Amino acid sequence: MEGLDALRGFALFGLFIVHMPELFELYWVNPATDPLQRAVHDAVWLLFAGKAFALMALCFGVSFFIIMDRSAQRGVDFTGRFVWRLLLLALMGLAHGLWYRGDILEVLALMGLFLVPFHRVRSNRALVALAVLCLLQPSMLAQIVAGLWGAEWANRPPAYWDIAISGVYLDGSFLDTVRINVVEGHAQKWSFMSGSGRLSQIMGLSLIGMVLGRIGFFARPQAFARARHLGLALALAAAVALYFARGPLGGLVPASEAMFMPRDRAWALLGSLFDLSAMAVLMLGFLSLYHGPGRRALGSLAPAGRMTLSLYVGQSLVFVPVFYGYGLGLYASMSQVQAVLLGLAAFAVQLVFAHLWFRRFYYGPLEWLWRAGTFLTTGVPFVRPRTGAVAPPLRPAAEAEGAG
């Protein structure tokens, strides 16, 4: 499904265009004060921060359904092999996390394990109800209620509030950076993911993605044209309402010097719902354009979507040394405008690279490695045959197509 690949490529672009002005997390050492630089930073955050990540989580759920469904159609239970596939993804995430503490592969791998048992739940309504519960952040709701009742634990700030950018990232060596990523960075990432509600959000969006895959939302786009347009209008209305109302609504929650977390958690919950609404606007708007006048232009993102894993890792391999102290150390001098322009140019290069790559290869390099590891064979075709040559089989094993 080229449309799904293009959407995944769009999500990858969103992640990258957030990481660039964020200077791969080093922006927070010295946030911009110049009005123009702050405006550029705020615009990128408003459009993509939290939204691109959410869209990637939703696409992860769709891919899960496709893999399991294709295998089931051939009479193959892919459950065990999918768990093994997630383990391989987690290992890649652990390796990537040595380089960049903000890695999300390990997080997606762990949350993917929770998806596996729900594949056997046949009721889409039950899955949607569970997804909505996850997206409403039940832990935040519980903390708000408990905090208002005076519970001491509920009025303690989350651990990730104390996370600071270590000076090692600014002037340490490469080995120092790896060491701190192992010792502190890994724990800090999980502290943020759990305390900010991201884990609950990933679970809910992955379930929504699985249901969308089941009903053919991406496979039969014409059947859902009216639903897309209606959903876009509703999501846009919700995003605008939450953007203007989340501050005043959160302010209605009682607060004092000793009881400040309920109001903060209310703001965090409303912010999460705004991100979800804005993500829906991006997704439905993208698909409406793709299945309308923008198909040719947006379809150019599909090759990037087919090698998201390789490009995602490659982005940090290239740009972490650009900003970090052991490399060029440009975190101290690059403006937000420069970072965004560099990000746009770099992603254009990635698109060209992806288009050229798939002329010669079937999969991205890490995608091939992941698939080969899933089936424990190097027989997965990688290099495309030259014109006139006999093409190798596309499925080296009976379940190869199900590797996603």
Inside any domain, residue 374: no
| Among the listed residues 106, 69, 88, the one whose alpha carbon sits nearest the alpha carbon of residue 374 | 88
DSSP 188: H
Sign of CA dihedral 257, 262, 265, 267: negative
Q: How confident is the model at residue 387 (pLDDT cuts 50, 70, 90)?
A: low
Task: Write the CA distances from 404 to 1, 64, 96, 104, 106, integer angstroms.
Answer: 12, 8, 21, 19, 18
Inside any domain, residue 348: no
- The pLDDT score that the predictor gives to residue 402 is 34
For residues 271 and 159, the answer to whether their CB atoms sit within 8 Å is no
Whole-angstrom Cα distance, residue 241 to residue 238?
5
Is this model's pTM higher than 0.85 or not? yes
Range of lowest pLDDT (132-146, 152-166, 390-404): 390-404
For residues 101 and 25, the answer to whether their CB atoms sit within 8 Å is yes
Inside any domain, residue 372: no
For residues 260 and 266, the answer to whether their CB atoms sit within 8 Å is no
For the stretch 170-224, pLDDT in tens is 999 999 999 999 988 888 999 999 889 999 999 999 999 999 999 999 999 999 9
Whole-angstrom Cα distance, residue 260 to residue 287?
41
For the stretch 278-308, pLDDT in tens is 999 999 999 999 999 999 999 999 999 999 9
For the stretch 293-351, pLDDT in tens is 999 999 999 999 999 999 999 999 999 999 999 999 999 999 999 999 999 999 999 99
How would you class 345 by CB atoms within 10 Å of its CB: exposed for 0-12, middle for 13-18, buried for 19 or more? Answer: exposed
CA 236 to chain centre: 21
**Residue 65, domain extent:** 50-292
For residues 309 and 367, the answer to whether their CB atoms sit within 8 Å is yes
Inside any domain, residue 309: no
Residues with Cβ within 8 Å of 131's Cβ and at least 6 positions away in sequence, in order, are 203, 204, 205, 207, 208, 211
Inside any domain, residue 264: yes
Residue listed under structure tokens 């140019």: 345
Inside any domain, residue 333: no
Inside any domain, residue 126: yes
Retrieve residue 276's tokens.
């979800």
> Mean pLDDT over residues 50-57, rounded?
95
Predicted confidence (pLDDT) at residue 396 exceeds the cutoff of 60: no
Whole-angstrom Cα distance, residue 11 to residue 63?
14
Inside any domain, residue 400: no
For the stretch 83-123, pLDDT in tens is 999 999 999 999 999 999 999 999 999 999 999 999 999 99
Whole-angstrom Cα distance, residue 286 to residue 288?
6
Query: Domains in the chain: how many in total?
Result: 1
